[in-house]
A = this chain, B = another copy of it.
Amino acid sequence: MTITEQGLSIAQVAELVGVSAHALRYYEREGLLRNPIERASSSHRRYTEADVNWVRFVTKLRSTAMPIARIKEYAALARQGDATRQARLDLLLVHRMSVVAQLEEMTKSLAAIDYKIATYEERTAQQ
């Protein structure tokens, strides 16, 4: 049993992480992963734990609206190794600002929605 025979299948990872197998292949094709996923018997993908963790982090970046292109940059930097550590940190710090801004905007919008809800409930109570 070679090392590439171990690891999780694409369906298992899809289930685990909560993205479609199609999306996993798409992410790999686009270069969002650090490396191409290893293959078992020269065809089926076998994901290591590190691969799964990387995919998980990609979903965190996606759920905070980082564009695919930016994640691709991040992955490309990671592939270059240690020399790009500062660049990756900078990229994440810039993104962090945008996430905080998104949270603030969404919180403000929630307040507006809550205000509207309150006026509806008030009017219902008045009748």
Chain A residues near B (Cβ < 8 Å): 57, 60-61, 63-64, 85-86, 88-89, 92-93, 95-96, 99-100, 102-103, 105-110, 112-114, 116-117, 120-121, 123-124
Check A99–B88 contact: CB distance below 8 A.
no
A104 → chain B, closest Cβ, in Å?
11
A86 → chain B, closest Cβ, in Å?
7
Check A103–B110 contact: CB distance below 8 A.
yes
Check B109–A106 contact: CB distance below 8 A.
no
Residue of chain B at shortest CB distance from A107: B103
Check A57–B100 contact: CB distance below 8 A.
no
Check B100–A103 contact: CB distance below 8 A.
no
